[in-house]
């Protein structure tokens, strides 16, 4: 087999995989899902999903990757009947779709970083004219895709790992500083209270499927990103402790993001928290106003740091999203890495054009589809998120569990995890992973997938 490269150490892998996990999902998605979904009540549901359902799937993905040292399509083919490669192709499809819209949002984040540096705080009120400015956003998104491709073209240890080792510690430093600063502002406590006081009445079925989609998306699971990263992991590395550390980092950063965000909003609204539940727009519409109120110098510093944080978090995630199709093209079609990278990056950028146009620039893409039973139309970017994040990722998790338990077979999975972790076989954790992969994950993920699709796209709510 050609030399595919690999991570230089266990820490390098953990940083890169945590970099994949920590992204816009943590900073942009998690806090307001918590705010809108019952505060601490949501956090409890989310944590249960992360540790009971997602962690076993993550361990399995890494094990499949390390065993085969291949991309998802090749990996499923190598370990099972060739029909299983469909699951790999589905992951590939999902990764391409996610990167196509994710890169646009990353472009917004990067654009805001520049705007904050220039002291343009009014951009918060002009968010929709910003997102519908195709030239501007297209330009920022191009720079973002270019940076992503540049890193991936440098290979695993010289590109992806190196970038993660610089970006992840910087990111943690920025988020901790911003959180500490947010706590010094007036009304900070009201913000924290809004974020965390549990309200169990808000735990409805849509909140539960949002939590599941969010957990899969945030942990980069269900599409083979971690099969791909796992294919570059050394045989002596302990997969279980690596996966646990990746999950803890991801959950920890998401949680801290909320602790940073809501005091900011409380400060701006004098503790009334008006608009705090407004969802996706929060970061881009409300926060610039907060930075403006800090005065011009401090506002520029805090505001640009915030959007730099967002851009860095997004970059380590886009890198992992691009690596999935690139690894496929390199492994299966024997194309040189650098050529594969630029080809795939350009293709995905083009696939992202409808997302670029779906936030005001074109009426067609901005009101792309109306689901059965829905009152208003959904734009293309949200539609892509509903299909990929909320539906296909949990479906992928379901299929990966079934595959590992019944096609590849559990004892092979356990054997692979035991490499680099001698005491694993026969341990309580091994028992748990066995039961989770064979019963709990398939049953719960399969059921939630069906319920989610029925409810989201067809307006049929069986539970909730």
* 60-94 burial code (b ≥16 CB/10 A, e <16): bbbbbbbbbbbbbbbbbbbbbeeebbebbebbbeb
Question: Can you tell me which residue has the tokens 């030239």?
Answer: 135
Torsion of CA 224, 227, 232, 233, to 10 degrees: 140
End-to-end C-alpha distance for the chain, whole angstroms: 51
Using DSSP, state whether 369 is helix, strand or coil: strand
Interaction of residue 405 with ligand PFF, rule CB under 6 A = no
Question: Could you tell me the two tokens for 13?
Answer: 């892998």
Interaction of residue 88 with ligand PFF, rule CB under 6 A = no
Question: Could you tell me the two tokens for 94?
Answer: 């999902």
Distance CA 33, CA 35 (A): 5
Residues 185-214 as x/- pattern, contact with ligand PFF by CB under 6 A: ------------------------------
Residues 6+ apart with CB under 8 A from 17: 220, 226, 229, 242, 246, 320
Q: What are residue 378's DSSP bridge partners?
A: 369
Part of the chain binding ligand PFF (CB under 6 A), chosen from 155-163, 188-196, 274-282, 315-323: 315-323
Binding residue (CB under 6 A) for ligand PFF from 6, 19, 23, 442: 23
287, 31 Cβ separation under 8 angstroms: no
In the complex, what is the shortest distance from the CB of residue 160 to ligand PFF, in angstroms, rounded to a whole number? 12
Which of 319, 361 has the CB closer to ligand PFF? 319
Part of the chain binding ligand PFF (CB under 6 A), chosen from 23-31, 285-293, 362-370, 398-406: 23-31
Distance CA 168, CA 20 (A): 10
Distances in Å between the alpha carbon of 16 and those of 86, 228, 230?
A: 26, 12, 11
Residues 6+ apart with CB under 8 A from 235: 66, 419, 420
In the complex, what is the shortest distance from the CB of residue 464 to ligand PFF, in angstroms, rounded to a whole number? 25
Name the DSSP class of 70: S
Binding residue (CB under 6 A) for ligand PFF from 242, 247, 317, 452: 317
Binding residue (CB under 6 A) for ligand PFF from 79, 321, 405, 453: 321
Binding residue (CB under 6 A) for ligand PFF from 17, 223, 414, 437: 223
Interaction of residue 442 with ligand PFF, rule CB under 6 A = no
In the complex, what is the shortest distance from the CB of residue 439 to ligand PFF, in angstroms, rounded to a whole number? 25
Part of the chain binding ligand PFF (CB under 6 A), chosen from 17-25, 43-51, 56-64, 356-364: 17-25
Part of the chain binding ligand PFF (CB under 6 A), chosen from 3-11, 60-68, 216-224, 345-353: 216-224
Distance CA 283, CA 96 (A): 25
* Phi, psi dihedral angles at 128 (to 5 degrees): -70, -30
Interaction of residue 225 with ligand PFF, rule CB under 6 A = yes
Which of 246, 402 has the CB closer to ligand PFF? 246
Which of 79, 223 has the CB closer to ligand PFF? 223
Interaction of residue 21 with ligand PFF, rule CB under 6 A = yes
Q: Hey, how many other C-beta atoms are within 10 angstroms of the C-beta on 102?
A: 29
Interaction of residue 249 with ligand PFF, rule CB under 6 A = no
Which of 313, 453 has the CB closer to ligand PFF? 313
Distance CA 134, CA 41 (A): 39
Interaction of residue 34 with ligand PFF, rule CB under 6 A = no
In the complex, what is the shortest distance from the CB of residue 168 to ligand PFF, in angstroms, rounded to a whole number? 13
28, 283 Cβ separation under 8 angstroms: yes
In the complex, what is the shortest distance from the CB of residue 34 to ligand PFF, in angstroms, rounded to a whole number? 14
Residues 6+ apart with CB under 8 A from 373: 458, 459, 460
Binding residue (CB under 6 A) for ligand PFF from 20, 157, 249, 362: 20
Binding residue (CB under 6 A) for ligand PFF from 320, 362, 418, 452: 320
Interaction of residue 25 with ligand PFF, rule CB under 6 A = yes
Interaction of residue 26 with ligand PFF, rule CB under 6 A = yes
In the complex, what is the shortest distance from the CB of residue 281 to ligand PFF, in angstroms, rounded to a whole number? 17
Part of the chain binding ligand PFF (CB under 6 A), chosen from 18-26, 65-73, 106-114, 160-168: 18-26
Interaction of residue 218 with ligand PFF, rule CB under 6 A = yes
Interaction of residue 220 with ligand PFF, rule CB under 6 A = yes
Interaction of residue 303 with ligand PFF, rule CB under 6 A = no
Q: Which of 256, 198, 206, 255 is nearest to 42 (CA)?
A: 198
Distance CA 248, CA 267 (A): 29
Interaction of residue 148 with ligand PFF, rule CB under 6 A = no
For ligand PFF, the binding residues (CB under 6 A) are 20-21, 23-26, 95, 98, 217-218, 220, 223, 225, 317, 320-321
């Amino acid at each position: 087999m050609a030399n595919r490269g690999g991570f230089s150490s266990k820490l390098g892998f953990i940083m890169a995989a945590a970099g994949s996990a920590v992204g816009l999902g943590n900073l942009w998605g998690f806090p307001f899902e918590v705010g809108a979904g019952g505060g601490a009540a949501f956090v409890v549901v989310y944590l249960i999903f992360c540790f009971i359902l997602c962690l076993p799937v993550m361990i399995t993905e890494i094990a499949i990757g390390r065993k085969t040292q291949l991309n998802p399509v090749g990996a499923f083919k190598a370990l099972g009947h060739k029909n299983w490669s469909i699951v790999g192709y589905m992951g590939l499809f999902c990764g391409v779709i996610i990167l196509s819209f994710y890169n646009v949002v990353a472009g917004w984040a990067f654009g805001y970083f520049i705007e904050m540096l220039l002291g343009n705080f009014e951009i918060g009120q002009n968010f929709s004219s910003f997102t519908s400015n195709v030239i501007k956003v297209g330009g920022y998104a191009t720079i973002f895709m270019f940076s992503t491709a540049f890193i991936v073209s440098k290979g695993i240890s010289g590109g992806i790992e190196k970038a993660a080792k610089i970006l992840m510690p910087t990111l943690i430093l920025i988020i901790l500083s911003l959180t500490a600063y947010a706590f010094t502002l007036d009304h900070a406590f009201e913000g924290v209270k809004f974020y965390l006081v549990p309200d169990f009445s808000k735990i409805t079925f849509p909140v539960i499927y949002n939590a599941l989609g969010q957990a899969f998306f945030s942990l980069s699971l269900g599409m083979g990103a971690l099969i791909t990263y796992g294919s570059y992991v050394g045989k002596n590395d302990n997969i279980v402790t690596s996966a646990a550390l990746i999950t803890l980092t991801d959950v920890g950063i998401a949680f801290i993001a909320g602790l940073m965000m809501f005091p900011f909003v409380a400060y701006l609204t004098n503790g009334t928290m008006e608009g705090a539940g407004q969802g996706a727009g929060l970061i881009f519409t409300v926060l610039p106003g907060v930075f403006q109120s800090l005065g011009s110098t401090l506002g520029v510093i805090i505001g640009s740091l915030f959007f730099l944080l967002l851009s860095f978090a997004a970059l380590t995630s886009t890198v992992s999203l691009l690596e999935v199709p690139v690894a496929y093209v390199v492994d299966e079609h024997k194309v040189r890495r650098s050529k594969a990278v630029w080809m795939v990056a350009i293709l995905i950028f083009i696939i992202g054009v409808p997302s670029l146009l779906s936030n005001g620039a074109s009426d067609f893409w901005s009101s792309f589809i109306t689901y059965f039973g829905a009152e208003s139309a959904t734009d293309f970017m949200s539609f892509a998120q509903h299909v990929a994040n909320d539906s296909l990722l949990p479906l992928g998790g379901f299929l990966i569990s079934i595959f590992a338990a019944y096609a590849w077979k559990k004892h092979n999975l356990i054997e692979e995890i035991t490499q680099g972790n001698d005491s694993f076989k026969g341990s309580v954790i091994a028992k748990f992973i066995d039961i989770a992969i064979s019963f709990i994950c398939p049953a719960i993920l399969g059921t939630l997938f069906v319920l989610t699709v029925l409810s989201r796209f067809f307006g049929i709510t069986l539970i909730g």
